[in-house]
Structure 1
Amino acid sequence: MHNFIPPERFFPYLTWTEINEMSDKENVVIIQPIGSIEQHGPHLPVIVDSAIATAVTGQALAKLNAEIPAYALSTLFYGKSNEHWHFPGTITLSSNTLSMVLIEMGESIYRAGFRKLVFINAHGGQPQILEMVARDLHQKYEDFMIFPLFVWRVPNAATELLTPKELEYGIHAGDAETSVMLSILPEQVRKDRVLCEYPHNLPENSMLSMEGKLPFAWVTRDLTQSGVLGDATVATQEKGDKILESLAESWVKVIGDIYKFRQPQRYHLEE
């Protein structure tokens, strides 16, 4: 049931009495891996984002100093993936449903006495929702520290192993994700179906882009026929091993920083 998560770090394996008796719960780090079930081209299974979120979390927890109390919840496999819903196999929640699931899960963690909750998300279509949920939970419970984080936004080897074009446009089922899947679930990669397709019909000589500071709204079929955005033909397990290792090392540092984190001083405004 724990998949890539070390069993001693898997929150659902604890009993309620062990949770109740846990010391210094205010600084125990509770991690919610979040992914999606959505199309990833003809060569990758729909579990990609959930698998990557779980594997990175698991490897980081395996490397983490045993003295740092940190536990992973069961991965949330469903996310907001409606940009992919024209492709069969995509299962999507609405933004409202995902928000409520995360809020009610967070409130359950808070009632148990924990005060540090981390979202480790691997699906690029939902960071904004997680950020809004985190702000709302903290506004409601002022001593609740929520960290809405994206698995790829830490230093990692992809910046050295991928081409500049792939780093900019290979955002879905391309070199990075395919390489990591070759590392963690190689038997689930359809190696005879890998392909390269970059986004079509992007505005030329424009400050606007798919992602970044000035994005435009899009759904996947606006940009690609295959569902792939990137070059999966150059993916290798060796690259995947290096990317995964570097991600895990960075997340060890992040989890340690969260354990040491203290809420900034609150100011009481004079009326």
Structure 2
Amino acid sequence: MAAGPARLTDLAWPDLTARRPLVLLPLGSFEQHGPHLPLDTDTAVAGAVAERAAARLGAEVDVLVAPAQPYGASGEHEGFPGTVSIGHDALRLLVTETGRSLLRWAGRLLVVNGHGGNVVSLADAVTGLRGESRDAAWWPCLPPGPAANTDAHAGRTETSLMLRLRPSAVRGERAAAGPTDPVHLLMDRLVAESVRGVSPSGVLGDPAGAGASEGERLLDRMADRLAADIRAWRVSARGRLGLPDRQPVTARTGDGR
């Protein structure tokens, strides 16, 4: 195995005939992230965490990183232009059929999820795959730190991550704070009014103080945790790799999207 992450896109089919690799599938979203962050923020973070974890595992585990899936269930953000949501039913089917096909030749599948709104459908799909005796799991990119509940979307954490990953895409001059109340206190309004009704800018949190060095630390800590969870490979009843299920609090719209 190479020292860096091994990417599925770099291989031809004969390269896989004698292997049963673990495949990491980054899953993100294509949705608004305030006026200052790019629409593919969740996808970029999931891909970076997957590649860093794969590089850490090196020769310990035969691991490949698949191309990221950029579309997820983002109905709560559809009040903003640029958002593309495939909805929960389509996401559940997408993960199910991707897993069935991929696990014909791969040994294990781990979906590295970068968007909290995907979790319910993702867990359903992975649980279904496991019920078919396929070794699949999912893992959430949850940045460490107690501020996550008041920094839920396009705040300091995600701004720091993108300043590290793609600084040219961060429009710092547009960054502004949105509501910083704990998400659970906003949940009734988020469900009833969607994100646009709660935060006209789309930000839930405050980007102030974000920096690339903080983003680097957050990426490293997530990648370290992911690599450790892969080594242990303990999967919960809902298909979650690692710690017991901790479903992120997310807004769900009434149309099932």
Partner residue of 1:99?
92
**CA distance in structure 1 between the aligned counterparts of 2:75 and 2:201, rounded to whole angstroms:** 16
Alignment of 1:55-134 (within 5 A): 55-112=48-105, 114-134=106-126
**CA distance in structure 1 between the aligned counterparts of 2:12 and 2:57, rounded to whole angstroms:** 22
Residue 127 of structure 2: which of 121, 135, 153 is its match?
135
Partner residue of 1:247?
222
Partner residue of 1:42?
35
CA shift for structure 1 position 209: 4.0
Partner residue of 1:17?
14
1:246 aligned partner, one-letter code: R
CA shift for structure 1 position 262: 9.1
Partner residue of 2:246?
none
Contact 2:137–2:235 under 8 Å retained in 1:
no
1:135 aligned partner, one-letter code: T
| Identity level (%) | 29
Partner residue of 1:173?
154
CA shift for structure 1 position 45: 0.7
Alignment of 1:195 onto 2:200: no
Distance 1:41 1:245, change over 3 A: same
**CA distance in structure 2 between the aligned counterparts of 1:221 and 1:93, rounded to whole angstroms:** 19
**CA distance in structure 1 between the aligned counterparts of 2:222 and 2:126, rounded to whole angstroms:** 23
Q: With structure 2 as the length reference, what TM-score do the two structures score?
A: 0.83
RMSD over aligned Cα, in angstroms?
A: 2.5
CA shift for structure 1 position 12: 2.5
**CA distance in structure 1 between the aligned counterparts of 2:60 and 2:148, rounded to whole angstroms:** 36
**CA distance in structure 1 between the aligned counterparts of 2:136 and 2:80, rounded to whole angstroms:** 33
> What SS class does the counterpart of residue 38 from structure 1 fall into?
coil
Q: Deviations over 1:49-88 (max 9, x none)?
A: 0000011111111222323111111100011111101100
Alignment of 1:154-165 (within 5 A): 158-159=144-145
2:117 aligned partner, one-letter code: G
5+ residue gaps, structure 2, are: 238-257
Alignment of 1:217 onto 2:217: no
CA shift for structure 1 position 222: 2.8
CA shift for structure 1 position 223: 1.6
Partner residue of 1:231?
206
5+ residue gaps, structure 1, are: 1-5, 265-271
CA shift for structure 1 position 240: 1.0
Which aligned segments of 4 or more residues in structure 1 are displaced greater than 6 angstroms?
Answer: none
Distance 1:8 1:183, change over 3 A: closer
Contact 1:103–1:137 under 8 Å retained in 2:
yes
Partner residue of 2:167?
186
Residues 102-111 or 37-46, more deviating: 102-111
**CA distance in structure 1 between the aligned counterparts of 2:186 and 2:130, rounded to whole angstroms:** 30
**CA distance in structure 2 between the aligned counterparts of 1:263 and 1:209, rounded to whole angstroms:** 28
CA shift for structure 1 position 145: 1.8
Partner residue of 1:267?
none
Contact 1:29–1:255 under 8 Å retained in 2:
no
Q: With structure 1 as the length reference, what TM-score do the two structures score?
A: 0.79
